[in-house]
Amino acid sequence: DQQVKQNSPSLSVQEGRISILNCDYTNSMFDYFLWYKKYPAEGPTFLISISSIKDKNEDGRFTVFLNKSAKHLSLHIVPSQPGDSAVYFCAASSDSNYQLIWGAGTKLIIKP
């Protein structure tokens, strides 16, 4: 039973355009969400997070949007750069259980 779902295994985007990565969750108790970026054979690195009291958080080229009613969050990267090519994971936790629940990841490929 996957509580955090990333339904697109891969996404290809032209350099300079916007990349939009999506994540859906089923547990309404989740109230903290994170996005991580992972290169092959390396550990994930933290990108950006959002608390359920907000619907948007922005950090440079990265913006995360949270739609609580739809149980959906998205990560926008603009403009996309070649170094953004990586696997992106979303993760969620709740106030009752601080352990992170992870999606399966989306591989982002930025085309020159």
Strand order of the sheet with strand 56-59?
A: 4-5, 19-25, 72-77, 62-67, 56-59
Tell which phi-psi region holds residue 26, choosing left (phi > 0), alpha (psi between -120 and 50) or beta: alpha
Phi, psi of 85 (to 5 degrees): -65, 115
Cβ atoms of 11 and 107 closer than 8 Å: yes
Cβ-based nearer residue to other proteins, 55 or 95: 95
- Is residue 105 part of the contact set for other proteins (CB under 8 A)? yes
Cβ-based nearer residue to other proteins, 13 or 35: 35
Of 12-20, 54-62, 69-77, 92-100, the window that binds other proteins (rule: CB under 8 A) is 92-100
Cβ-based nearer residue to other proteins, 19 or 93: 93
- Taking CB under 8 A as the rule, which mask of x and - marks residues 40-69 in contact with other proteins? -xxxxxx--x-x------------------
